[in-house]
Structure 1
Amino acid sequence: MLDATARHHPYYPRDLVLNHYVTNTNSVALTLVYVSLAFITIVFLASALAYPRRHSTLQSPGDRLVFFWLILNGFLHLVFEGYFGINHATLAADQSPIGQVWKEYALSDSRYLSSDTFVLITERITILVWGPLALYGAWSLYHNLPSRHIAQLMLSLGHIYGCVLYYFTSIVEDSPHCDPDPYYYYFYFWFFNVFWLIVPVILMTSSIKALKRAMASFNDAEQFITETHFKHN
């Protein structure tokens, strides 16, 4: 039988103890409005930064989309997930707009409200490593630096690795932290996160091809220099 501490919240598992939980004051619709406004703000910011200028090399639509993706990741990792990293211990009672967004998402994964060790460590790595790397990737892409593909490859590998672990640490336990309602499980848990599997695979493939071309060109140039040297000697 569930005790009183486990009955006053909507999260799974139902015996999860969240003594400090406070119900959201914002409706789900308003919470989604906040998310939408944040997304639109990032779109405008990335679009403004990506607008062609003399010192920018973002000429193709593909590069602009990648630039937007990197800016989006920088914002999410440093601001949204950064908020979690700082306030995870009190998030269940948080009534700020960001806190209420986290509590809404936690219906699909209550580990975010219980300071789960795996989630906490993964998020801290994301905040401290992947967030700055995403912004560096955007900056290097903007200036077409050779390091853009190295940053893009590292970030993509990190996203894929983290996302696979995130999914499977839940799935192998039969997802006890997820509300079984299909809306929360498939839309919140799967749909909102699967982009960090799909897009990184695309970007990683692109970076690997670019690095292979660069190495092939380097090898050709090195071979040409060697052959020229032998001819002159």
Structure 2
Amino acid sequence: VINSGFFYSSAEQREKLVESERKFTDEKVKKIVEFKKQVCGDTNKGFVVINQKGIDPLSLDLLCKNGILALRQTKVFKMLQKILSFFAIHNEEKLPEQVLEVISKPELPNHPYYPTDLKLPNFTEKTYSMEYLIGVFAAATITITLVFFSIISQKRNVSGLNKFAFIWFIITGSIHIFLEGYFVYSHETIQSDNFLLAQMWKEYSLSDSRYLTSDSFVVNMEGITAVLLGPASYFAAIGIHQNWPSRHVIQLIVSLSQLYGLVLYYATTFFEGFPHSRPEPLYFWGYFFGINFLWFLIPGTLILQSCLYLTNTVREVQKKKSKKTN
């Protein structure tokens, strides 16, 4: 079966990942078939795919029809090393560089995070599924929204945008204090912890593994956010509810800080080529880009609102002063 081709998908499937993460998509099957053609050409030589934990039957059938053998268990890795070594000696053709690279690696990663050579010696798999963790977070967010919407709705003179801002500051303040605060407090042990909030961070870390390695920028950024912006967000919400004169000043400071933090967060990994995120759309575009982009859109809108309000207020004051002097 093995002649000149070998492809190893280093960490794409893990035993405890949900079914959607375990399966090969049609796109991945096509990529493997294209990779075989690059290595073997249009010959009928066999090709082996090592998949760390499992392949769904449909993809397995498609691969077989293209002359590709998919092996499931990582326990066969040592056996394949011996087989490949045999072909390296007895086959006139040289093995591809991809084969030699894999053979030289003594062990497989114990985690599903990127980069694949990331060392997480104390890592333990999360016990809750992705759906459960997202469901808990969504349920908490919806509960907060409903409770505080009923509170702000009792104020008759509050506009729709201000009601939205009130709820936003409660939600974002809670995320800063409780979720991000937990990360700052437990960042050294999250990779081995299975507390609910730790598992949420393990799920999010599929899009940014820096949260499992105590990255100095991430820890300091989240620390400032939890200690300063969390309480400040609550003050901004109170200012909206009580119609404080300083409300827009607080809102402007908090929103600018959130926007600045997001730019730094994106920039520090952008110039590295996003090496800490898994390539799947769910993790890169959904978690890393999509969720965090809310802290660009909403603070940006609130910054504009506060700037317009403060500008108009100063303009009115200046008009009154000019009338008095005249």
**TM-score, with structure 2 as normaliser:** 0.66
Aligned counterpart, 1:196: 295
Q: CA deviation at 1:51?
A: 2.8
Structure richer in helix, relative to its length? 1
Aligned counterpart, 1:39: 141
Q: Does 1:83 align with 2:182?
A: yes
Structure 2 residue matching 1:89: 3-state secondary structure: coil
Take 1:20 and 1:135, find their aligned partners in 2: how far apart are those partners? 36
Q: CA deviation at 1:110?
A: 0.4
Aligned counterpart, 1:18: 120
Give, as a single letter, the amino acid of the residue that structure 2 aligns with 1:50: I
For the 8 Å contact 1:57–1:142, the answer to whether it is kept is no
Give, as a single letter, the amino acid of the residue that structure 2 aligns with 1:93: S
Take 1:80 and 1:58, find their aligned partners in 2: how far apart are those partners? 33
CA shift digits 1:55-98 (9 cap, x unpaired): x4653222111101111111110111111111111011121111
- Over the matched positions of the two proteins, sequence identity in percent amounts to 36
Take 2:224 and 2:162, find their aligned partners in 1: how far apart are those partners? 26
Q: CA deviation at 1:49?
A: 2.4
- Name the structure, 1 or 2, with higher relative contact order (CA <8 Å, separation 6+): 1
Q: CA deviation at 1:156?
A: 1.2
Of residues 210, 219, 222 in structure 1, which corresponds to 2:318? Answer: 219
Structure 2 residue matching 1:146: 3-state secondary structure: coil
Aligned counterpart, 2:272: 173
**Greater gyration radius:** 2
Written as runs of structure 1 = structure 2, the 5 A alignment for 1:63-212 is 63-212=162-311
Take 1:67 and 1:148, find their aligned partners in 2: how far apart are those partners? 11
Q: CA RMSD in A?
A: 1.5
Take 1:58 and 1:85, find their aligned partners in 2: how far apart are those partners? 39
Give, as a single letter, the amino acid of the residue that structure 1 aligns with 2:135: V
Structure 1: which 4+ aligned runs deviate by more than 6 Å?
none
The runs of 5 or more residues in structure 2 that have no matched partner are: 1-103
Take 1:102 and 1:169, find their aligned partners in 2: how far apart are those partners? 19
Take 1:106 and 1:135, find their aligned partners in 2: how far apart are those partners? 27
CA shift digits 1:174-212 (9 cap, x unpaired): 001101112111101011100100111111011000000
Structure 1 residue matching 2:188: 3-state secondary structure: helix
Q: CA distance change for structure 1 residues 20 and 57 in 2, over 3 Å: closer, same or farther? A: farther
Aligned counterpart, 1:231: none
Q: CA distance change for structure 1 residues 103 and 209 in 2, over 3 Å: closer, same or farther? A: same
Give, as a single letter, the amino acid of the residue that structure 1 aligns with 2:170: I
Give, as a single letter, the amino acid of the residue that structure 1 aligns with 2:268: T
Structure 1 residue matching 2:119: 3-state secondary structure: coil
Q: Does 1:27 align with 2:129?
A: yes
